[in-house]
Amino acid sequence: MRFQEVLFSKISENMWEIPRGKGMLVPGVIFASEAMMADIVKDESVRQVMNVAHLPGIIRHSIGMPDIHWGYGFPIGGVAAMDVDEGVVSPGGVGYDINCGVRLLRSDLAAESLRPRLQELLAALRHDVPSGVGSTGFVRLSAQDEEKVLSEGSRWTAAAGFATEEDVEFTENQGKYPGADPDAVSAVAKKRGRDQLGTLGSGNHFLEIDEVTDVFDDEAAAAFGLFRGQAVVFIHSGSRGLGYQVCDDSLVTMAEYMRRNRIELPDRQLACAHIRSPEGRRYLAALAAAANYAFANRQLLAHQARETFLRVLKAGPRDLGMRLVYDCGHNNAKFEEHEVDGRKRRVLVHRKGATRAYPPGSPDIPAAYRDVGQPVFIPGEMGTASYVLAGEPGSMRLSFGSTCHGAGRRMSRTQAKASVRGRSIAQDMEKRGVLVACSSWKTLAEEIPEAYKDVTAVVDVVHGAGLARKVAKLKPMAVVKG
């Protein structure tokens, strides 16, 4: 298969290699089926995989996941690991919404029992969970409190009474990135974040009530507390305006760093600085602080969702049985230990629109899941399904412990809006059996099901490649869009 002058070589049914070309320090690898590759080559994401391979200190290969599509600098669905001594950190390899991620809440409720109350629940969640551009949260942070959020992440929410110790335990990194420094976050970023904690945001962020329709792995599903016919809550949000500003601030600094140090790359959106440089260290400290903000944000959203369920259903916490399965981010750069060329090395893994997928036995996942692997969540679009998976050993061998983070766009937001003129998206969704609430018609039009790839095909690639295995399938019942 060719992409202009690029020749792909098929490594396996689900893996393709792009050989090293001019300036590339490593090959590229894309996880996809042959049918999916026909779509992937239509946008600039393949070129971006090749561009990332030019970054100083990159190790082994530049990676594209099956949900890959065009992004800023790195493709969305891109993974790259860097040598900590010679390598660089690039904000384009993390994205604007730092530590955007998903969390899943399980319950003891049968989905069928909720159907008569869905409209009421959706209206209550729409009212209680702030969403949309410029939304503000129910928690008013003082400047001192915000500093604690940036330093402590989920630990701050527990101290403030919005999280249990179990919530903290079942959050990636226990909800706190090491090395966070609030002083590395600009005053503008802090101002943007001060009143947005506990808000869903806009775009593809969501809060869903889903039904577990299928279970593929009984042991892992039992470990995660999932069963067929169960009602669960899925939350997708990130670091809001604070994270966006951290990225914006850093791109300016790093463009100047590249000019001073004569670093030449094929795309200026790959602005970067060496990991050990003052600029690199400052960005990583600010990134960790923004990641902590995102963990706290999702925890507050989960807290509010639980409170809403309790109020509307007039149930007690034991009747509800709603607890956190896991929370994992998918826009990050993290120091991790991986085997490279037969030996363990500490590397910096960029994951942009890609999530961690650690296998059974990993000491970095909760003890309750070490026999089955880390929970992995791959949301689809609001009209079909989402999947719960568990990390597999292949992810450590092939992708630095990573897998994809969703279905991936196949249509731009502009194209999606143009395609739905004259249609009522909410009515279309209701015909599919899904209730939808959204603060903006524009957002809803951008998020139509047709705008996304087939999530089942994406998940089949991940499963087939041995990055993560299928555990359960979720079907949306009611969706609050950002």
Q: Residue 469 maps to which CATH number?
A: 3.90.1860.10
**Gap between the Cα atoms of 294 and 264, Å rounded:** 33
What are residue 202's phi and psi, to 5 degrees? -125, -165
CB 440 within 8 A of CB 91: no
What's the pLDDT at 427? Answer: 80
Give the Cα separation of 70 and 73 in Å (integer).
9
| Contact predicate 28/18, CB 8 Å | yes
Q: What does the pLDDT read at residue 442? A: 75
SS3 35: helix
pLDDT of residue 139: 85
Tell which residue, 71, 76, 78, has the closest CA to residue 30. 78
Q: Answer whether 150's CB lies under 8 Å from 175's CB.
A: no
- From the list 308, 344, 326, the residue with the least C-alpha distance to 128 is 308
pLDDT of 133 reads 65
pLDDT band at 145 (very low <50, low <70, confident <90, very high): very high
- The lowest-confidence range among 101-105, 196-200, 357-361 is 196-200
Active site (catalytic) residues: 405
Neighbours of 209 (CB within 10 A): 27
Domain count, the chain: 1
CA angle 454, 457, 462 (to 5 degrees): 130
Measured in degrees and rounded to the nearest 5, phi and psi for residue 355 equal -120, 155
Helix (H) or strand (E) holding 30: strand 28-31
- Domain span at residue 194? 2-481
Average pLDDT of the chain is: 93
Phi, psi of 398 (to 5 degrees): -110, -30
Cα gap 347→353, rounded to integer Å: 19
Task: Give the confidence band of 1 by pLDDT, cuts at 50, 70, 90.
Answer: very low
Whole-angstrom distance, CA of residue 427 vs CA of residue 143? 44
Residues with Cβ within 8 Å of residue 259, at least 6 apart in sequence = none
User: Looking up tokens 């950190």, which residue turns up?
Assistant: 89
431 has pLDDT over 70: yes
Percent of the chain with pLDDT over 90: 82
Alpha helices in 115-233, H assignment, sequence order: 118-128, 143-152, 154-159, 165-169, 187-193, 218-224
**H-helix or E-strand containing 242?**
helix 240-261
Please, are residues 66 and 456 in contact by the beta-carbon 8 Å criterion?
Answer: no
- pLDDT surpassing 90 at residue 173: yes
Select the more confidently predicted residue: 301 or 8: 301
For the ranges 41-50, 280-289, 394-403, the lowest mean pLDDT is seen at 41-50
Helix (H) or strand (E) holding 319: helix 317-320
Give the pLDDT of residue 6: 62
More confident: 133 or 459: 459
Tokens standing for 308? 């809403």
pLDDT computed for residue 440 by the predictor:
73
Band (pLDDT 50/70/90 cuts) for residue 134 is: low
User: For residues 348 and 130, which has the higher predicted lDDT (pLDDT)?
Assistant: 348
pLDDT tens readout for residues 146-157: 999 999 999 999
Q: What is the dihedral of CA 86, 88, 93, 98, to 10 degrees?
A: 120
Mean pLDDT of 247-251: 97
pLDDT digit string, tens, across residues 368-424:
999 999 999 999 987 789 999 999 999 999 999 999 999 887 777 778 777 776 577
Please provide residue 416's backbone torsions phi and psi, each rounded to the nearest 5 degrees. Answer: -65, -45
- Among 377, 373, 391, CA closest to 210: 377
Spatial distance between the Cα atoms of 247 and 187, rounded to a whole number of angstroms: 14
Burial of 478 from C-beta contacts in 10 A (0-12 / 13-18 / 19+): buried
Both tokens of 204, joined, read 């593809």
Q: Distance between CA 163 and CA 154 in Å, rounded? A: 8
123: left (phi over 0), alpha (psi -120 to 50) or beta: alpha
- Phi and psi torsions of 68, nearest 5°: -60, 135
Which tokens go with 219?
A: 């042991």
Report the DSSP beta bridge partners of residue 103: 235, 327
Q: Is 452 helix (H, G, I), strand (E, B) or coil?
A: strand
The whole model's pTM is what? 0.95
